[in-house]
Amino acid sequence: MLSYPWENFVTVAQGGEPDTIPAALLVDCSFISSAYGMNTLDFFMYPNQWLNAYLTLMARFPDVIFLPGLWVEYGVAAEASAFGTPVMWRQDEAPALRPLTLPLEAWGSLRRPDPYSDGMMAMILRRYWNLEHNGELPEPHRIHVVAARGPFSIAAHVLGVSAFMRAIEDEPDSTRAVLDALEITTETTIRFLQAQLGCLREPVGIMLLDDTVGMLARDVFNRMARPFLSRVFDSFDGLIRIFHNNTPCRHLLPLLPTLNFEVFHTSHQLNLAEVKAALGPRKTVMGNLPPLGVMAHGTPAQVVAAAKECIALGGRGGGMILSAGGTLHADTPADNIDALVSATHA
């Protein structure tokens, strides 16, 4: 059975009007390890400390949905590691990657990873299974949403952002190589999400994180990105599909309604009313307080003021979830999260 914050979130995501506007925040290893004074490597290495940090966070802020929620993640390394991309481990930050150096003609020969055996995906799946089925997660907690990087982000992490974007710009000469790579990374995204969902007892949705597509020109997005993103979202019909893209992609807003997702987590650099109008009444916008300038470095009064402005722009008639316009920064103080929640009640 869903808790009240989750019920509220689902109501809005499905087009209903809630009692109060939900507050949801995207948090990752950098925020949680910093908030609880943990070495980042310890956060990954000691499952009990990882779980205690998450449960403490959820108990401290019971009115907030932390997306995707009890997230077993290794920064951007989860999917890319399955392609053999070297991972750089750091003491106080999320892992980083050293992209593969491959010629264009080799992009279509990238290995097709098996999420149950390749890279960190296999470790993530085992962790989810233990949490959900082997008694590691205390009652009544459940994991409701799973996450994966999108096809373009995986390709950029594996092949290098500069090399990947340059290949897109050099089409038509490089188009075949780019499309071959995206076929493989799209399949990886879908299979990894499906495998994670298979570990859950009460799945509610999936979260697709792909900032790279926001850097594409409109015609390139329409011709090249939209078919691959559609394939991902269409694979999870019946679930709430959250699309995270915090690049300021105003030029792409008219194309987003053609994609089958329910919630768009947008950049703080976009106007919330403009985003909501572009998405139309059948989609929900999630955002969009500045994660650094307001949520991390602002005062509680500034957070409340910014939150009320967001609600005024996007809250009328439902279709809005209050959030930071991006991942919550590691330095975000607890008082500012309290302030965000207070604005939803007001």
The CATH number for 33's domain is 3.20.20.210
Where residue 294 falls among pLDDT bands split at 50, 70, 90? very high
* Cα 30 from Cα 73, distance rounded (Å): 11
**Ramachandran assignment for 133, one of left (phi > 0), alpha (psi -120 to 50 degrees), beta (any other):** alpha
Question: Cβ(304)–Cβ(338) under 8 Å?
Answer: no
**Could you give phi then psi for residue 203, rounded to 5 degrees?**
-70, 140
For residue 325, pLDDT beyond 80: yes
* Beta strand 23-26 pairing with 87-88: unpaired
- What value does the mean pLDDT of the chain take? 95
Output the pLDDT for position 18: 83
* Cα 161 from Cα 209, distance rounded (Å): 15
For residue 172, pLDDT beyond 90: no
Instruction: End-to-end CA distance of the chain: give it in Å, rounded.
Output: 27
* Burial readout 83-94 (b: 16 or more C-beta within 10 A, e: otherwise): bebebeeeeeeb
Question: Cβ(240)–Cβ(233) under 8 Å?
Answer: no
Tokens 């499906």 locate to 194
Output the pLDDT for position 140: 93
As given in the structure block, the two tokens for residue 325 are 């316009």
* Cα 147 from Cα 26, distance rounded (Å): 11
For residue 264, pLDDT beyond 90: yes
* Cα 128 from Cα 122, distance rounded (Å): 10
Pick the closest to residue 7 from 240, 198, 209, 337 (CA basis).
240
**Ramachandran assignment for 22, one of left (phi > 0), alpha (psi -120 to 50 degrees), beta (any other):** beta
* Cα 152 from Cα 62, distance rounded (Å): 34
Count the neighbouring beta carbons within 10 Å of the beta carbon of residue 109: 10
Q: Percentage helix, strand, coil, to 5, in the chain?
A: 50, 10, 35
- Sign for the CA dihedral angle at 201, 198, 244, 295 comes to positive
Relative orientation angle of helices 334-345 and 300-314, to the nearest 10 degrees? 40
Range of the domain at 92: 4-345
Tens digit of pLDDT for each residue in 85-133? 999 999 988 999 999 999 999 999 999 999 999 999 999 999 999 999 9
Number of domains observed in the structure of the chain: 1
Letter for the amino acid at 239? L
Question: Cβ(84)–Cβ(109) under 8 Å?
Answer: no
More confident residue, 20 or 285: 285
Where residue 295 falls among pLDDT bands split at 50, 70, 90? very high
* Cα 268 from Cα 331, distance rounded (Å): 17
More confident residue, 325 or 317: 325
